[in-house]
């Protein structure tokens, strides 16, 4: 079989790979510790891709596959938007668009004790943090940050929630600020919460603003930075 790989592993970095591609050959890189992120798997000496996407590399030694999906796989320390489905004695059952329901312990709030357990109706939208996400177990969630403070987690009131792909969300959360959000923020005032599980919540004073912001974000998925700014200008001209 023809060996398509050139001798340096950098040949696959930033190019599209599909599941089954051998992207790194460990026998040619001795005495290095490399860290494998999502979408990569080790088979003795070969590192192969298990997801379709772009192979990324960050110095000094991290490799991972970036791709945009509609499904969400829970990871620790992700901030997500969940919807309450049921409440049990010890925890709330939360739908997080993943393979299993998330469990939110009833005490996982700032100053939470058995006496002041919050009562959430079925259908409440919550901004949460993933505490434990092991394969095969239901993920454990929390409404506090790592030090126990509330820090914006909790129920989101009013507003509008819509679903997108995970790639778009990471663009929205990247720093420096995403062009769409910057352009919208110059003319309109709104509040936004981005959940890494594919949900975005927008709130503003008037429904027109909410709709414009939501449409702008959904349209910006396949556009480059400059195109996004042009698209936002078009939208804003139409409402003013």
Partner 1 sequence: MEEADEMVTPGEVLGRATDLKAGKGAYAASHNNTIYASLTGFRRIQAPPPASHDKRPTVEVTGHKAHGPVPEPGSVVIARVTKVMARTVSADIMCVGPKSVREKFTGIIRQQDVRATEIDKVDMHLSFRPGDIVRAVVLSLGDARAYYLSTAKNELGVVSAESSAGATMVPISWTEMQCPLTGQIELRKVAKVVN
Min. distance of Cβ 42 from partner 1 in angstroms? 5
As given in the structure block, the two tokens for residue 150 are 């509330």
DSSP 66-131: E---SS----TT-EEEEEEEEE-SSEEEEE-SSSS-EEEETT-STT--SSS-----TT-EEEEEEE
Min. distance of Cβ 221 from partner 1 in angstroms? 33
User: Would you say 41 or 62 has its CB closer to partner 1?
Assistant: 41
User: Would you say 48 or 165 has its CB closer to partner 1?
Assistant: 48
User: Would you say 48 or 203 has its CB closer to partner 1?
Assistant: 48
User: Would you say 43 or 121 has its CB closer to partner 1?
Assistant: 43
Would you tell me which residues interact with partner 1 (CB under 8 A)?
41-44, 103, 132, 134, 136-138, 140
User: Would you say 32 or 174 has its CB closer to partner 1?
Assistant: 32
User: Would you say 101 or 169 has its CB closer to partner 1?
Assistant: 101
Q: Contacts for 45-51 with beta carbons within 8 Å, 24 or more apart?
A: 46/22, 47/22, 47/23, 48/19, 48/20, 48/21, 48/22, 48/23, 49/17, 49/18, 49/19, 49/20, 49/21, 49/23, 50/19, 51/19
Q: Can you tell me whether residue 165 is helix, strand or coil?
A: coil
Min. distance of Cβ 61 from partner 1 in angstroms? 17
Min. distance of Cβ 139 from partner 1 in angstroms? 10
Q: Can you tell me whether residue 50 is helix, strand or coil?
A: coil
Min. distance of Cβ 63 from partner 1 in angstroms? 16
Min. distance of Cβ 117 from partner 1 in angstroms? 18
Q: How far apart are CA 180 and CA 216, in angstroms?
A: 7
Q: Which residue has the tokens 């769409």?
A: 180
As given in the structure block, the two tokens for residue 164 are 């997108």
User: Would you say 132 or 170 has its CB closer to partner 1?
Assistant: 132
Min. distance of Cβ 79 from partner 1 in angstroms? 21
Instruction: Give helix then strand counts, H and E, for the chain.
Output: 4, 16
């Amino acid at each position: 079989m023809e060996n398509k790989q050139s001798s340096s592993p950098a040949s696959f970095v930033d190019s599209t790979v599909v599941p089954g591609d051998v992207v790194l050959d460990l026998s040619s890189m001795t005495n290095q510790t490399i860290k494998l992120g999502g979408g990569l798997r080790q088979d003795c000496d070969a590192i192969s891709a298990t997801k379709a996407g772009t192979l990324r590399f960050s110095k000094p030694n991290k490799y991972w596959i970036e791709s945009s999906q509609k499904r969400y796989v829970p990871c620790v320390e992700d901030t997500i938007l969940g919807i309450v489905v049921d409440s049990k004695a010890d925890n709330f059952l939360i739908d997080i668009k993943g393979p299993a329901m998330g469990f939110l312990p009833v005490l996982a709030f700032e100053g939470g004790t058995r006496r002041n357990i919050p009562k959430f109706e079925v259908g409440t939208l919550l901004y949460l943090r993933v505490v434990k996400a092991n394969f095969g177990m239901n993920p454990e969630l929390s409404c506090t940050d790592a030090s126990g403070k509330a820090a914006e987690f909790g129920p989101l009131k009013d507003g509008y929630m819509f679903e997108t792909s995970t790639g778009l969300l990471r663009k929205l959360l990247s720093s420096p600020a995403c062009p769409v959000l910057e352009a919208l923020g110059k003319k309109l005032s709104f509040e936004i919460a981005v959940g890494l599980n594919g949900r975005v919540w927008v709130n503003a004073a008037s429904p027109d603003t909410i709709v414009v912001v939501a449409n702008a974000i959904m349209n910006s998925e396949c556009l480059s930075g400059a195109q996004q700014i042009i698209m936002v200008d078009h939208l804003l001209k139409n409402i003013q």
